[in-house]
Structure 1
């Protein structure tokens, strides 16, 4: 494959990454005021540390991705070497943090049930270990001409990618079922107010959005070329950053006065 073709691919990838960075910055500006109001000044508990990492780690990932794609000339050193590996590690950390947020929500919605916490943690660890071990075991020489031209090694196969996403989707489906069960149980209890019902419902929406995003990633990874795969991957941290914000701050508007209440979120049961 010619160097010109490789450079063309990298330009497409860089354009997608820059667009993702612009969207991340725009979303951050829109939501920064509420973050200052409800997070700044609170104690550094585990919940706040988790939120902060989920909120700001995508900025690191996008910055590394831009730096990786803009280096000229393109080579295995910047694209498939230690710098590219660091970018991938940050990308996976963004995903892990977003998925771990589901455990916190589920634990809160089940009234801090220790059995639910243990079960969801074991499910999470099992799915993540399966995904990581499989990807390392089934990695092989790349078939994609771009990666061949860059001399990349240890690239995941279609089968390993399928197992990775299958593990992720299985985990998210399990969490969705648990949250749906807790939602149904809560609705049966007539003493639950509108705010609590909204909290549970929004939690289901949050999980369904992540599940749909994982399915889209799986379809693209298994069917599309590496150009589209990398562009979509650059948008994943943006989505997870916004979802981390959404899961922590959910604005409530009074029926009579258009003013936000203190966020009705997982911190109602797990102090931030």
Structure 2
């Protein structure tokens, strides 16, 4: 692969990060007022720590990703250094926090049913392990030409990312099903007011939106050339 092609991939990576940062900032602007109204001034509970981590950790990931992506080939010190690895760890930690938020919402909708909680955690853990094992297996068998040109021990991030998102999609379909069942049970056995109905309906729509993002990310990862920028963009858009 020529230096010009590698530079093109790296520019795509940087543009993807900037685009995701713009989406994240816009989402923050739209919801900051509600955050001040409902979160500020409350006690620091586990739920608040979870929310604040999920809310602000993506900005840390953005701050780490931009310098990590600004590299000129050939390079093996900048692109594959500890900053790049730490950035990926932060990305995937954000995804885990976002999926944990789904578990919390679903757990509440099922009136804190412990069997449902154990089932969700077990199913989520199995999907996560499957995503890691399968994607790492594929990664060890294919070489990303961009990473090879940068003298990195990288692999075909497109295939690995797509497989990881397929496992994530399976998990989110299960979450969507549980939220839909809880919504139907609530309407069948109770006479809820408009506030409760809206809460449950919006919960289903929230899970459906996250599922749609995962499907979009999986499709884009298969349709685009292999580049680290897509992985970064996917992770950032996932927890908007």
1:81 aligns with 2:81: yes
Runs (5+) with no aligned partner, structure 2: none
Q: Is the 8 A contact 1:168 1:214 kept in 2?
A: yes
Q: Structure 1, residues 85-135: CA drift from partner, whole Å, max 9, x if none?
A: 111111111111111111001100001111111111111111112212333
Distance 1:141 1:130, change over 3 A: closer
- Residue 30 of structure 1 aligns to a residue whose secondary structure is helix
Report the CA distance between 1:211 and its aligned residue. Answer: 0.9
* Structure richer in helix, relative to its length: 2
| Residue in structure 2 matched with residue 230 of structure 1 by the alignment | 229
Q: Which range moved further: 152-161 or 139-148?
A: 152-161
1:121 aligns with 2:135: no
Report the CA distance between 1:189 and its aligned residue. Answer: 2.7
Q: CA RMSD in A?
A: 2.2
Poorly superposed stretches of 4+, deviation over 6 Å: none
| Residue in structure 2 matched with residue 14 of structure 1 by the alignment | 14
Runs (5+) with no aligned partner, structure 1: 243-272
Distance 1:138 1:239, change over 3 A: closer
- Residue 139 of structure 2 aligns to a residue whose secondary structure is coil
| Residue in structure 2 matched with residue 70 of structure 1 by the alignment | 70
- Residue 78 of structure 2 aligns to a residue whose secondary structure is helix
Q: Is the 8 A contact 1:142 1:152 kept in 2?
A: no
What TM-score do the two structures reach when normalised by structure 2? Answer: 0.90
Q: Is the 8 A contact 2:12 2:229 kept in 1?
A: no
How far, CA to CA, are the matches of 2:167 and 2:136 in structure 1?
15
Distance 1:220 1:43, change over 3 A: same
Distance 1:4 1:141, change over 3 A: farther
| Residue in structure 2 matched with residue 181 of structure 1 by the alignment | 181
- Residue 207 of structure 1 aligns to a residue whose secondary structure is helix
How far, CA to CA, are the matches of 2:215 and 2:221 in structure 1?
10
Q: How many residues get paired?
A: 240
| Residue in structure 2 matched with residue 192 of structure 1 by the alignment | 192
What TM-score do the two structures reach when normalised by structure 1? Answer: 0.80
How far, CA to CA, are the matches of 1:126 and 1:25 in structure 2?
33
Q: Which range moved further: 160-169 or 34-43?
A: 160-169
